[in-house]
Amino acid sequence: MSPTQTVTPQGAEILCIGTELLLGEITNTNAQYLAAELAKLGIPHYYQTVVGDNEARIHHALEVACSRSSLLLITGGLGPTPDDLTHAALASFFGVEMVEHPQVWEEILRKYGQRGMEPSPSNRKQAFLPQGATVLPNPLGSACGLIWQPRPDLHILTFPGVPREMQQMWQETAVPYLRSLGWGKEVFYSRVLRYWGIPESTLAERVGSLLAGENPTVAPYASQGEVRLRVTGRAPTREAAEALIAPVVEQILQISGEDYFGSDEATLASVVGELLLQRGQTLAVAESCTGGLLGQLVTGIPGSSRYFVGGIVAYDNRIKEQLLRVDPAALQQQGAVSEPVAAQMALGAKQVLGSDWALSITGIAGPDGGTPTKPVGLVYLGLADPEGNVEVHEYRFGSLRGREGVRWWSAQTALDCLRRRLLRYPLSGDPPQQGQILE
């Protein structure tokens, strides 16, 4: 088979070879690592492909990749077993012979000898590379890679699938080689703007005029209730790239409003912590259906002991009554999953634990326990402020999110409710009236 070219090749492509990847037996961390490294070098990267250990399918993947990319990074399939086909498949695809590199075999013998072992005869295949390719050394393992320019507009680098070996080979040899070709003269820099409480489609509509930009680019994506906008600029230096995206980020933030909660590594829990610290205030939580998840998120932030006083997991109604001072009549008449109980749980946590703010969660996480009037996914969130005012929010997260999904959305949404309330709470000034329960 000979390669075909249908478009002008540009940018890099990552091709990961291994049936175990297709079966989900291992996570493809190599592609993630290489993608991040390409971004650091400012190398455009448009495609990733995973293919099993089959020569015909590898040939097809190569035909597609070589028609659209000028740099091909391949991981996996460099071992000694019969299903390790990468280098042989490359040779047959480009119509060249496999040639032994004696120094590679000597290195394999040396490494095995250091461990008091002898390589098997099958290890010798690892010393063969397609004619014209040079060795990409592997300081840690027996599987060397290759650096090859099979045609003027195409460079190919191969790496073993073992992440530690691949990463060292990348840093020690591949990066200097790519820089010598002129890659890496520009860098990519990104800011990730993070949102909660807004659908991805709605946010995309708000910033729609910015999504068509080429440099900087703006791209939306969603994950577990959170929506993100990634703003990326390409420039000769990081500082220049930061300056390039700064006005776009500022424009987005002016459009976004309170749905934006932070950027890059910020989380709802970390932002809430910063807002509490700015006000010198504390937080307590009372949880039922989330079973401690809210407290776990809060305490997952280093330094949270400066503002988090504690939490009560009141799964049983007796705990709600005895520790949180929930009125037994409210439990009997309205049920544990109700607005009055959520309000009393929040106020009880604030009073019992002596905090400025308190959050409560009570709901039906499922998969059982729902009724026509109180379906799975029904959750009430209570929020008590420093003056004793309590507000309660009802949410219907639905059963399709699953038990863990309902718990996650409940805890995160509770943090978001507190975040929004803290944004409107003055750093100083006259507090509102005491003891009001707000619906």
C-alpha to C-alpha distance for 263 and 194, rounded to whole angstroms:
6
Per the CB < 8 A criterion, the answer to whether 279 and 422 are in contact is yes
The answer, as to whether pTM is greater than 0.85, is: no
Give me the mean pLDDT over the 227-231 stretch: 96
pLDDT surpasses 50 at 19: yes
pLDDT of the residue at 44: 86
Q: Residue 432's pLDDT band (boundaries 50, 70, 90)?
A: very low
Higher pLDDT, 432 or 119: 119
Residue 256 buriedness (CB in 10 A; 0-12 / 13-18 / 19+): middle
- Whether residue 44 is preceded by a cis peptide bond, meaning omega within 30 degrees of 0, is no
Average pLDDT score over residue span 61-81? 96
Q: Of 7-21, 93-107, 147-161, which range is least confident?
A: 7-21
Taking residues 373-389, report their average pLDDT. Answer: 97
Angle between helices 268-279 and 402-424 (to 10 degrees): 30
Report strand pairing: 187-196 vs 226-235: antiparallel
- Rounded Cα–Cα distance for residues 19 and 83 (Å): 9
**Best CA proximity match to 87, nearest among 30, 50, 125, 137:** 125
Residue 423: pLDDT above 80?
yes
| pLDDT at site 24 | 93
Residue 428, pLDDT score: 62
Query: For the chain, what percent of residues have pLDDT higher than 70?
Result: 95
- Name the DSSP class of 173: I
**pLDDT at site 8:** 41
pLDDT at residue number 300: 97
pLDDT digits (tens, 9 = 90+) for 393-410: 999 999 878 999 999 999
Tell how far CA 3 is from the center of its chain. Answer: 36
Does pLDDT of 224 surpass 90?
no
Contact 34, 73 (CB under 8 A): yes
pLDDT-derived band at 427 (thresholds 50, 70, 90) equals confident
In the structure encoding, which two tokens stand for residue 428, read together?
Answer: 């100083």
Other beta carbons within 10 angstroms of residue 331's beta carbon come to: 18
Nearest to 233 by CA among 212, 217, 211: 217
Backbone angles phi, psi at 167, to 5 degrees: -65, -40
CA-to-CA distance for 142 and 161, rounded, in angstroms?
12
Percentage of the chain modeled with pLDDT above 90: 85
Which amino acid is present at 266? A
Reported as a pLDDT band with limits 50, 70 and 90, residue 435 is very low
Choice among 116-125, 213-222, 381-390, 426-435 with the minimum mean pLDDT: 426-435
pLDDT digits (tens, 9 = 90+) for 233-264: 989 888 999 999 999 999 999 998 899 999 99
pLDDT score for 426:
86
- 37: confidence class by pLDDT, cuts 50, 70, 90: very high
> Residue 182 — very low, low, confident or very high, per pLDDT cuts 50/70/90?
confident
List of residues 6+ apart from 437 with CB closer than 8 A = 343, 389, 390, 391, 392
Tokens representing 267 are: 């989380």
Give residue-wise pLDDT tens across range 104-113.
999 999 999 9
CB 361 within 8 A of CB 288: yes
Judge whether 227 and 206 are in contact, CB under 8 Å: no
What mean pLDDT value characterizes the chain? Answer: 92
State the Cα–Cα distance between residues 417 and 381, nearest whole angstrom.
9
Output 185 or 79, whichever has higher pLDDT: 79
Q: What are the φ/ψ torsions at residue 211 (nearest 5 degrees)? A: -75, -15
Structure tokens at 128: 């063969």
**Element (H or E) spanning 78, and its range?**
none
Domains (range + CATH), the chain: 12-180 (3.40.980.10), 187-263 (3.30.70.2860), 268-438 (3.90.950.20)
Q: Residue 317's closest CA among 329, 331, 330? A: 331
Tell me the per-residue pLDDT of 86-101, one tens digit each, with 9 for 90 and over.
999 999 999 999 999 9
At 311-350, the pLDDT tens digits run 999 999 999 999 999 999 999 999 999 999 999 999 999 9
Q: What is the pLDDT of residue 438?
A: 35
What's the pLDDT score for residue 401? 82
